[in-house]
Amino acid sequence: MRSDEIKQGFSRVPHRSLLRATGLKDEDFDKPFIGVANSFIEIIPGHFFLNKVSELIKEEIRANGCIPFEFNTIGVDDGIAMGHDGMLYSLPSREIIANSIETVMNAHKLDAMIAIPNCDKIVPGMIMGALRVNVPTVFVSGGPMAAGHLKDGTPIDLATAFEAVGQFSAGEIDEAKLTEIECNACPSGGSCSGMFTANSMNTLMEAMGIALPGNGTILALTPERGELYRKAARRICEIAKDNIKSEKFKLRNILNQNAVYNAFAVDMAMGGSSNTVLHMLAIAKEAGVDFNLSDINSVSKKVSHIAKISPSLATVHMEDINRAGGVSAVMHEMKKRGDGILFDNLTITGEMLYERIKDAKIIDTSIIHTIDNPYSQVGGLAILYGNLADQGAVIKTAGIIGDRVFTGTAVCFNSQDEAIKGIIHGKVKAGNVVVIRYEGPKGGPGMQEMLSPTSLIMGMGLGDKVALITDGRFSGATRGASIGHVSPEAAEGGLIGLLQDGDEIHIDVDRYILEVKLTDEEIARRKALFKPLIKPLESSWLRQYRALVTNASNGAILVAE
């Protein structure tokens, strides 16, 4: 066992002495040591109950002949950090989480790991750290929250709350309705109930085979979720106690090229958050997988979009997907199309992916469509290119409101805060393209999510009348013609930084085009005069991050020279 390095032989007397101080007995030193990586934190709705989850998991690990050692990672709630400078810390937290997983697991030579993530950057951060450690790892998330409901029974969620701010600003709803939405949008613990970033990543873990079936859709705080935790704990012990299995189920043997491809394919079929592109590119790099931004459109062309979930379809939430057959049913239906759309691949539960999904079926075709009746013949994400995005930009096509071809005049803002003020005060009109720049990985730094401005646009009735482009990113709750991750970003001299009010911008989603109608001569003239805006930073951590981070087309990973 890997843990023998800290517990076997006479030279490890001091190590065993310290371990005995934690309660270990003689008989425990021959058992596998399991790291229980918990993301419990009291301020995040998807995480405040995970201390109780870890107790259940540790109890099951002990009952199955292994020794659990719980440790914690940090977490940032993107919804709470939204709309102020707290969001600068969200994406950087992914790197802290990955580093903490690597640090604890390798410093103490633990044999295997069960990871308990749920929301925001915590899922990809844990996956990235686990890939570096490369021991058998089972992921089991806290689970999605139930949808909220208004008094008339209308289902609502966090996206409803953000869009209500825009509706209230436009005088479309009164304070009583605003309060009703506030008090009912997030009714319980769990990751926010739509196909936002958290549930997108929790779903993709099923597609990658690193989590058990149901991980993405079984509601939090239910007996069914409790049984999933116990199954995950039993499985990691079964692997850890068998030397052959421990080698076979090392994480990189499961999360390989095929798994990354499958994740993107399922993402396309279910219209996941555009943030999954950022995180899956980073995960691919940690896994040593050759998968680039330019490969995504080729996947999308093979995938039919068969499940629409909030925010793309406001009435459908994760509990509905679970009732309709879950992620396994989506994959089973995808497989019918062929075209190499899914690869058969080993899963952490021991079976191949096709074996896992062979008996799955759609129970409600109004929630999960059949391959013969898709929402679209192509996937729910696309990568756009052109002179405004030499290295690519991302749009969640599943969330588009209105036409897929749009030409409009630029209204430029040098920060999200500027944009919010401008939108509220009527600076944005029908026919405009809202440009929000200096919010990329370096420029922000940290790629702020743009849910506040996009929700204002939707709430003010402009969702099908304007487009938005940014070198920042979007919340999974964003909908509308919203294009993010524009690379190169403004802070590194990208053309988005040279745009001026009134410039004509052309978007053609189906032809993958994002361009500004400027002559080469005019672009050269502007470049000669251009000096990127560098925001001053008091935070030493954010200064370190800005110095090391790559742009979004590379997954915003940290690269030390």
Q: How far apart are CA 550 and CA 556, in angstroms?
A: 5
437 touches 419 (CB < 8 A): no
408 three-state secondary structure: strand
Q: Is 475 a catalytic residue?
A: yes
157 touches 148 (CB < 8 A): yes
Kindly write down the DSSP assignment for every residue of 433-449, as one continuous string: EEEE-S-STTTTTS--B
What's the token pair of residue 506?
A: 């052309």
Nearest Cα neighbor of 334 from 308, 302, 376, 309 is: 302
Q: How far apart are CA 215 and CA 204, in angstroms?
A: 9
DSSP 307: B
240 three-state secondary structure: helix
Cis-peptide into 453, omega within 30 deg:
no
519 touches 428 (CB < 8 A): no
517 touches 523 (CB < 8 A): no
In this structure, the number of other CB atoms found within 10 A of the CB of residue 272 comes to: 31
221 touches 49 (CB < 8 A): yes
33 touches 67 (CB < 8 A): yes
DSSP E strands, 107-194: 112-116, 137-139, 148-149, 155-156
Tokens 């659990």 belong to which residue? 68
* 92 alpha-carbon distance from chain centroid: 14
Given 93, 100, 200, 475, the catalytic residue: 475
In this structure, the number of other CB atoms found within 10 A of the CB of residue 504 comes to: 13
In this structure, the number of other CB atoms found within 10 A of the CB of residue 132 comes to: 17
Q: How far apart are CA 470 and CA 274, in angstroms?
A: 13
67 touches 59 (CB < 8 A): no
Q: How far apart are CA 142 and CA 321, in angstroms?
A: 17
Q: How far apart are CA 144 and CA 40, in angstroms?
A: 15
What's the token pair of residue 390?
A: 């030499």
262 three-state secondary structure: helix
Q: Which residues are catalytic?
A: 475
